[in-house]
């Protein structure tokens, strides 16, 4: 089976050929030249369209399209019976759906553009599945019949008869103030169907901003508000799209507790989560979504959470005999950082610093910066981590002390993505990289791992959050510097992109013999990247204190002790896993002072 997708935003027939000529994709198609209609220009929308049952998948149209608008994929014939939804003729295709299990939490993991949000919208009743026929959408009877013999048959029957109540927390919580006006407490009073807002006020720590207007809340505060508003509703199935965004590790685990409570009441909970540690801790089962982003997505069969995440890291599904990634992702069981950073090549020192910003006071301990070293920066929100980055980058001046002893070239990726550049992706990167942009090394080290080749002609103002994040990181690495500073580089990225980009940053810093400081809430990314750690402690919004850079194990132990969490490692992949609070292993590790732990034995 063949799927041909034409990106309507990139397809520009009026620009790729003179009025008297056929567009290149049609002009050079061998089948069209022999008289067959394998690709046509749809006059209703003035866009090219692939006729999939005629197309042979030769790929000539892909190469000839000047705007990279065409993508063609060959898919196993047996998936024809699993066709669930298609966006318009020539649009994205979704195969299969997640199962719905009462009393269980189902996690969805996979790259952006693979259909996770689409699957949630279908199950939430916001989009009716068209079974691959967008021009003639089927009625509910046909949809129910299509899923006969599966758990979804009864689910869609109830959905079609309005016998099931659904509630959905959307992905982009920062848009809430544009949709809903007023203060937080009034919003939650309106949706308090279960009568539990006082409990949610405590468990999600909403009291600090309970009477504030929604428009002044931070991203993390809006996230907790959205989660509380959904949980306060009385429903049968709860959907959460990226519930951990903008939250620190302690806040993320507090959210998992309230979601677990929903499952114990017999509710079904389905989540899309890019933080694999949180997905692992929260979910009972997972589905892996794979395919070709923007072209098609396939929902895997259901797996237990530990096995499912390990299969995702392996990049291979043995039950489907599908390899969706060429290389497995592994975490070192004995990373260098556990024994301390071993280098005598010092770039510079940074000094003790103090700064008062309004009611907030920050004190920084001095430290040493080595060549090739990546220093992770961890701590709860509101303790001054971003302020420290700005001090090192000379964007803020301390009241006491000088940031760096030597003058260094510094490149900064800020926390909030506000790239003020009126041009294309290529124009921005060329400005930063200079003559390096056209080299094979730049293409292999920056453009390829960040998937920016396809975005080169796109204007920056058109990019999504994830695309902007990749561009911001790539643009920072494109600059010639001795010290690279990154503030939350994994935000907006899917789990695979996070792992790919952390791997790219690590390799880049090591090869260049530069140094990097990285503020990050995703512990998996911190564990993968860091050679040493700076731990922030204090009272959020009032005062913050930093340690000097310390070895990875000591730093993680200190940080995790501050938030009362213990970790073990999966023996197969080496990935960190959270221990359940007060479990036997949790208590044992706390007694031994091992909050950050390496397991050498099989688990479970």
Q: Which CATH number applies to 2-74?
A: 3.30.70.20
Q: Spell out where 264-331 has E strands.
A: 268-272, 285-292, 296-299, 303-304, 316-317, 322-323
pLDDT at 570: 86
| Percent residues over pLDDT 90 in the chain | 54
Q: Provide the residue ranges of all domains of the chain, joining segments of one domain with +.
A: 2-74, 79-314, 340-550, 564-604
Note the residue count of the chain.
604
* Number of Cβ atoms within 10 Å of the Cβ of 356: 12
Give CA–CA dist 309/285, Å, rounded: 10
For residue 342, pLDDT beyond 70: no
- Who's near 206: CB < 8 A, 6+ residues apart? 184, 188, 200, 224, 225, 228
State which fold the 340-550 domain adopts.
Rossmann fold (3.40.50)
pLDDT for residue 335: 47
Question: By the 8 A CB rule, do 225 and 215 touch?
Answer: no
Question: Cα(140)–Cα(128) distance, rounded to whole angstroms?
Answer: 9
Give the tens place of pLDDT for each residue, 433-471.
999 999 999 999 999 989 888 888 888 888 887 888 999
Does residue 578 carry a pLDDT above 80?
A: yes
Phi, psi of 515 (to 5 degrees): -140, 160
Distance CA 375, CA 296 (A): 38
Question: Beta-carbon neighbour count of residue 551 at 10 Å?
Answer: 19
pLDDT at residue 604, rounded to an integer: 43
Neighbours of 49 (CB within 10 A): 20
Which architecture does CATH list for 79-314? 3-Layer(aba) Sandwich (3.40)
pLDDT over threshold 70, residue 343: no
Asked if the domains at 79-314 and 340-550 fall in one CATH topology, the answer is yes
Beta carbons within 8 Å of 178's beta carbon, 6+ residues apart: none
DSSP state at residue 461:
G
pLDDT (mean) for 286-294: 92
pLDDT value at position 601? 47
* Phi/psi of residue 417, nearest 5 degrees: -85, 95
* pLDDT for position 44: 83
pLDDT attached to residue 20: 67
- Provide mean pLDDT across the span 355-361: 93
Dihedral sign for Cα atoms in the order 410, 416, 422, 426: positive
Beta strand segments in 444-575, E: 483-487, 515-519, 532-539, 543-546, 550-551, 567-569
Taking every pair of Cα atoms in the chain, the longest distance, rounded to a whole number of angstroms, is 79
Residue 419 has pLDDT above 80, yes or no: no
């Amino acid at each position: 089976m063949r799927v041909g997708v034409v990106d309507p935003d990139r397809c520009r027939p009026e620009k790729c050929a003179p009025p008297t000529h056929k567009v290149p994709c049609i002009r050079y198609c061998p089948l069209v030249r022999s008289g067959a209609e394998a690709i046509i220009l749809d006059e209703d929308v003035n866009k090219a369209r692939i006729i999939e049952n005629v197309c042979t998948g030769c790929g000539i149209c892909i190469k000839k399209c000047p705007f990279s608008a065409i993508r063609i994929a060959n898919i196993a014939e047996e998936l024809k019976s699993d066709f669930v939804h298609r966006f318009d003729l020539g649009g994205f295709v979704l195969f299969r759906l997640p199962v719905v299990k009462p009393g269980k939490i189902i996690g969805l993991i996979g790259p952006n553009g693979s259909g996770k949000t689409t699957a949630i919208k279908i199950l939430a009743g916001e989009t009716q599945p068209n079974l691959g026929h967008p021009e003639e959408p089927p009625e509910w009877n046909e949809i129910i019949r299509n899923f006969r013999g599966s758990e979804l048959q009864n689910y869609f029957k109830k959905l079609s008869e309005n016998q099931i109540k659904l509630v959905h927390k959307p992905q982009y919580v920062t848009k809430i103030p544009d949709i809903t006006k007023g203060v937080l407490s009034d919003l939650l009073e309106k949706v308090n169907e279960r009568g539990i807002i006082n409990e949610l006020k405590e468990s999600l720590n909403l009291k600090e901003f309970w009477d504030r207007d929604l428009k002044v809340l931070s991203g993390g505060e809006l996230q907790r508000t959205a989660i509380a508003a959904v949980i306060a509703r009385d429903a049968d199935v709860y959907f959460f799209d990226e519930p951990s965004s903008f939250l620190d590790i302690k806040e993320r685990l507090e959210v998992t507790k309230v979601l677990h409570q929903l499952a114990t009441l017999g509710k079904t909970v389905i989540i899309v989560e890019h933080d694999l540690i949180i997905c692992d801790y929260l979910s009972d089962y997972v589905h892996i979504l794979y395919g070709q982003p923007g072209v098609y997505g396939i929902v895997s069969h259901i797996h237990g959470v530990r096995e499912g995440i390990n299969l995702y890291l392996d990049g291979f599904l043995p039950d489907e005999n599908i390899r969706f990634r060429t290389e497995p992702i592994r975490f070192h069981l004995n990373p260098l950082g556990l024994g301390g950073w071993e280098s005598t090549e010092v770039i510079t020192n940074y000094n003790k610093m103090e700064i008062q910003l309004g009611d907030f006071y920050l004190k920084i301990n001095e430290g040493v910066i080595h060549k090739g070293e990546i220093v992770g920066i961890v701590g709860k929100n509101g303790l001054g981590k971003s302020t420290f980055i700005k001090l090192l980058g000379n964007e803020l001046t301390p009241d006491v002390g000088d940031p760096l002893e030597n003058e260094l070239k510094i490149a900064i990726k800020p926390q909030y993505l506000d790239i003020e550049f009126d041009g294309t992706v290529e124009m921005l990167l060329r400005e930063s990289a200079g003559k390096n942009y056209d080299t094979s090394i730049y293409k292999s080290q920056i453009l390829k791992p960040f998937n920016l080749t396809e975005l080169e002609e796109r204007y920056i103002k058109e990019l999504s959050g994830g695309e902007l994040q990749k561009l911001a990181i790539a643009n920072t690495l494109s600059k010639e510097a001795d010290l690279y500073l990154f503030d939350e580089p994994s935000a907006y990225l899917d789990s695979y992109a996070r792992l790919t980009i952390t791997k790219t940053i690590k390799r880049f810093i090591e090869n260049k013999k530069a140094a990097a400081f990285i503020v990050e809430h995703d512990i998996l990314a911190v564990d993968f990247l860091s050679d040493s750690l700076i731990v922030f402690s204090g009272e959020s919004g009032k005062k913050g204190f930093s340690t000097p850079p310390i070895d990875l194990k000591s730093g993680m132990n200190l940080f995790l002790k501050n938030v009362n969490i213990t970790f073990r490692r999966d023996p197969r992949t080496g990935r960190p896993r959270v221990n359940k609070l007060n479990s036997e292993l949790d208590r044992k590790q706390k007694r031994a002072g091992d909050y950050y732990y390496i397991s050498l034995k099989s688990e479970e």
